[in-house]
Amino acid sequence: MAGICIYGAGSVGCYIGGRLLAAGADISFVGRERVASEIRRHGLALSHYQGGRWQLPPSTIDFSTDAGAPKAAGLVLVTVKSASTRAAAAELATILCPKTIVISFQNGLGHADRLRNALPGRTVLEGIVPFNVVMSGPGTFHQASQGALAVKAHAELDPYLAAFTAAGLPLSQYPDIVPVQWAKLLFNLNNAINALANVPLKEELSRRAYRRCLALAQAEALALLERSGIRPARLTPLPAGFRGCSMRLTGYLQGWRARC
């Protein structure tokens, strides 16, 4: 089995790649010079909200700023920001072999399609990272909320499943991943509200006024999905249609607080 490359290693990429590397997988990273410099100096320090901790010294980490580094990888996890997808696709198109599998672990919709269009003949799959990763210092990344990695089901992933399971990051495979993408997007509607609030997530969600803003945004999105015939997947104990109602209640939400 060929190795795994994290392409666009920022917070999410460093965390997932670091967990895989800590469990013994063959991992390489491609990212910006700033991140590379920090990791060369400090290594990777990873932590989990349930108490797990992993420390990787610099000497164990293959981190490059060379866009050509993934050419030998069998699986490439694309974790670049949305605006960098087209550039990443153009770079990968010049180096990847036809058998390379690509997973887009990016927020939002349509990124896998852009990669697929630029990478004809390769297997390109939609993926979802449902949990938050927070950078708390140079080379230091913390998983701050729950959730399992999700990916479009495909038989070619079979050789890699054990590596993700060993790392404590099992891949949940879905024949139809569109409802799961939309369910994640409903959560991400809070990103703009949180940025405008300019307070920590837990504090924001403890305030009824901000919860009402999120509830209104989710209600609008749910109405759009209903008209489009899309039913978002159920990723929490509450179905998507009930979350907006719950957020209007003053006593809401031990579940959300646990995710912060």
**What are the pLDDT digits (tens) for 133-189?**
999 999 999 999 888 999 999 999 999 999 999 999 999 999 999 888 888 888 778
What is the architecture, at CATH level 2, of domain 4-175?
3-Layer(aba) Sandwich (3.40)
Closest CA to 55 of 165, 171, 137, 120: 137
Tokens standing for residue 154: 């495909």
Res. 251 pLDDT band, cuts 50 70 90: very low
β-strands 123-128, 150-152 pairing: antiparallel
Domain range list for the chain? 4-175, 179-259
Of 15-19, 22-26, 118-122, which gets the smallest average pLDDT?
118-122
CB 14 within 8 A of CB 35: yes
Q: What's the rounded Cα separation, in Å, for the pair 143 and 140?
A: 10
Q: What's the rounded Cα separation, in Å, for the pair 34 and 198?
A: 25
Beta strands in 2-109, from DSSP E residues, in sequence order: 4-7, 27-30, 44-48, 53-56, 62-64, 75-78, 101-105
Q: Please give the model's pTM, rounded to 2 decimal places.
A: 0.82
